[in-house]
A and B are shown apart, each in its own frame.
Chain A
Amino acid sequence: MELELGLQPSAPRDRDAIRPEVAFRCSMSRTPVRLIDSAADAAACIAAIAERRDREAFAVLFRHFAPRLKSYICKLGTDSATAEELVQETMVMLWRKAAQFDPTKAAPSTWIFTIARNLRIDAIRRENRPEPDMTDPVFVPEPAALASETVEHRQRDARLRHAVMALPEDQRTVLQLAFFEDKAHSAIAAHLGIPLGTVKSRLRLAFGHLRNRLGGP
């Protein structure tokens, strides 16, 4: 299977052709194996769960995301058994919240990332995750101009995926550490042996570069 960046329009695909053993065989591989060919495929699976509690669609999502989620949670310093438990919790939460997923607002991988992130904060750090509540009357909504941009999100996410892969090594490393090492920035600096100011500037540089890509043609 080829390395896909989710940029291709979703091709017709036979689900029977998906072989879960590929994921196991390649478990130490640096090259991600795609069991889902695009964000649109994953979104369709989530919609199938929301509409008809489709267990086959759930299995497809599990095969794609479970090994990645476990990788994510293990990188943050959690042992394999606990990580596996959290992967299960994340996938159950995905099943339960499928109707809340809005493909115009975020890519499936982004939505699933936030579910795992919040469950991990709750389970491992034993903290609450404070988040704004958009149903709160005090919440200040987007001005109309910003809101209309959300229809572009699917293309934005595909571009972003490309841009993350294309980042210079040092910038990608700082980003990965920020997301996947549960380290304060000063600890990231110590880890990389560079001054804190450099970490902050690299992080901003990397993120600014990615956001430019989002805003560009």
Chain B
Amino acid sequence: MTVTHHPGEELLIDFAAGGLAEPWSLAIATHLALCPNCRQTVADAEAVGGALLDGLALAAIDDDALDRVLARLDEAPPIETAGSNQAAPGTVLPEPLRSYVGGDLGQLRWRRLGFGASQVQIKTANDSGAVRLLRVPGGGSVPHHGHHGPELTVVLAGGFTDAQGHFLRGDLQQTDPSVRHQPRSDPGAPCISLTVTNAPLDFSSRLVRALKPWIGI
């Protein structure tokens, strides 16, 4: 299965540069785990970072800085390799997402939302975006809505369709306040996605807006 919807290049550059805050970086990292092409873009952007670093003007360093760091080396044991990660066959959530939610789909405690959907909220140290796993039953839909801010969605299972196209596992959708849509999940298995937003959704229906306190998204 090939990933066909990718983040904009400037987002990948921002991720490589380290400027992108943690919630949004988690969505990018989740996409990267499933998309070798975008990993190559990030690797190229990191190489640009390395080239820029090498070209920087030299800052003055304390005279004793080298001695101080040399004195610390005996207490600094080598880290040979990061231990290999274990996951049972059929695991759906890739790292680093799996560690953030504390397990795979089977370990999650879903909380019901209003429209047949459920969610698991994910905590990050930086709170510039709300991160959640969203599960919409097969053949269902999220009520028609717009966005007060940017939104990133990465599909992990199932799929959905809206005016931008058909999104399957690994695909990342990037929306902003100019986009109003009504994503419909594919028939069959539920669509499970990771979403990052920094503002509540702007539901088109007055009825849905009235129910928002109970919907919680």
Contacts and interface: CB of A to CB of B under 8 A. Distances in A.
Contact of B17 (A20, A84, A99, A178): A178
Contact of B26 (A32, A91, A130, A203): A130
A184 interface: yes
B165 to A, nearest CB: 20
A128 interface: yes
A182 interface: yes
A116 to B, nearest CB: 8
Interface string B49-82: 1111111111111100110111011001111111
B35 interface: yes
Nearest to A163: B51
B13 interface: yes
Interface residues of A: mostly helix, strand, loop or mixed? helix
A111 B53 CA distance: 11
Contacts, number: 259
Nearest to A75: B56
A68 B58 CA distance: 5
A70 B36 CA distance: 32
Given A99-B78, A109-B53, A207-B13, A132 B62 contact: no
B69 A62 contact: yes
B113 interface: no
B60 to A, nearest CB: 4
Contact of A28 (B44, B57, B62, B68): B57
B84 interface: yes
Interface in A116-136: 116-118, 120-121, 125-133, 135-136
A198 to B, nearest CB: 12
A17 interface: no
A185 B8 CA distance: 13
A100 B80 contact: yes
B144 interface: no
Nearest to B73: A95
A138 B94 contact: yes
Contact of A117 (B10, B18, B86, B100): B18
B4 interface: no
Contact of A130 (B29, B35, B47, B89): B29
A82 to B, nearest CB: 13
Contacts of A130: 22, 25-26, 28-30, 96-97, 100
Contact of B33 (A29, A117, A136, A180): A136
A27 to B, nearest CB: 4
Nearest to A80: B59
B210 to A, nearest CB: 33
Nearest to B87: A137
Contacts of B49: 110, 113-114, 117, 179
B184 to A, nearest CB: 26
Contact of A62 (B50, B66, B77): B66
A43 to B, nearest CB: 12
Given A136-B87, A146-B36, A203 B76 contact: no
Given A110-B47, A157-B51, A138 B87 contact: yes
Nearest to A161: B51
A92 interface: yes
A179 B70 CA distance: 29
Given A132-B96, A179-B49, A68 B56 contact: yes
Interface string B21-43: 11001101110111111011101
A27 B60 contact: yes
B59 A71 contact: yes
Q: 6 closest pairs, A vs B, by CB?
A: A110-B50, A67-B58, A109-B50, A132-B33, A133-B95, A70-B59
13 contacts: A28-B57, A67-B58, A88-B65, A88-B69, A95-B78, A99-B78, A107-B50, A126-B125, A132-B96, A140-B33, A141-B36, A157-B50, A164-B55
